[in-house]
Amino acid sequence: MQVTKTAPEWALELFNKSVLKRRKYREVTALLGDFAGRRCLDVGSDNGVISYLLRQQGGDWSSADLNPQTVNAIRELVGDEVYQISGEALPFPDQTFDRVAIIDFLEHIPDDRRFVDELHRTLKPGGWLIINVPHHKSTALRRLRFRLGQTDEKHGHLRPGYTLDDLQGLLGERFSVESAHTYSKFFSELIDTLIVFAVTTLKGGGHSEKGLVVTSSDLKANKSMFRLYSLIYPVVWVFSQLDALVPASGYMLIVKARKSEPTGHSRIA
């Protein structure tokens, strides 16, 4: 008898075959620290698998994203407390959250400064803000992506990414940056570029203001394509390990910042 997979099972199967998504999740959770018992928010977590995994680790989570397709994909995985937002405002009271993770979202919204105002408003004093964004740098790989049609516009990016100086300027004095680094180097990004090119060529369409989002329904409809990718995944993984040989900075930038506290308030551990 054939067993029908649930939406979380489909999403986890895709996640476990994605070098970039697994690395992103490790980076985000490493900076979030222990969030058990904390009130938390994730924004922009693609098809919802990161939202799902974060909730499995504890904490009281809400999730938000831009377009209806993505929001529905997240709801399919996690259930309630999922909101569609415009990038201008958050539907939460002041000082709601202990932890906020912004994952590949700022580059998609027109007024990132206004959104950071909202993050400051909804974070508790001493709360932690994790921001993951594309690292803005000019490279041969970026030019190759453009030639393959993987432009900023196709990915739904309103800006090509951020430098650390950009983010520090955006956060201002209301947040103190506690750590920052880049990750995901040439070989991981090259193989991802080729995979995206193959998927968009075979599947066609699939783009939104959040770029290409692969949901559990896409996997069900394209089982043979996913099986083929599963077969070559070991080669993809080995190829990505060559990143260790690259001295240059990575293509993703992740920052941990803390909301400044009024005098007399203690920090959140």
Q: What is the pLDDT of residues 29-70, one digit of tens each?
A: 999 999 999 999 999 987 889 999 999 999 999 999 998 988
Q: What distance in Å separates the CA atoms of residue 127 and residue 174, rounded to the nearest whole number?
A: 11
Provide the residue type at 162 as one letter. Y
pTM metric for this prediction: 0.87
Provide the residue type at 119 as one letter. L
Q: How far is CA 206 from CA 73, 165, 248, in A?
A: 14, 33, 32
**Token pair for 55:** 């909730």
8 A C-beta contact, residue 195 and residue 165: no
- Please give the share of the chain, as a percent, with pLDDT higher than 70: 86
Q: What is the pLDDT of residues 90-118, one digit of tens each?
A: 999 999 999 999 999 999 999 999 999 99
Main-chain phi, psi angles of 90, to 5 degrees:
-115, 135
Q: What is the pLDDT of residues 140-188, one digit of tens each?
A: 999 999 999 999 888 889 999 999 999 999 999 999 999 999 999 999 9
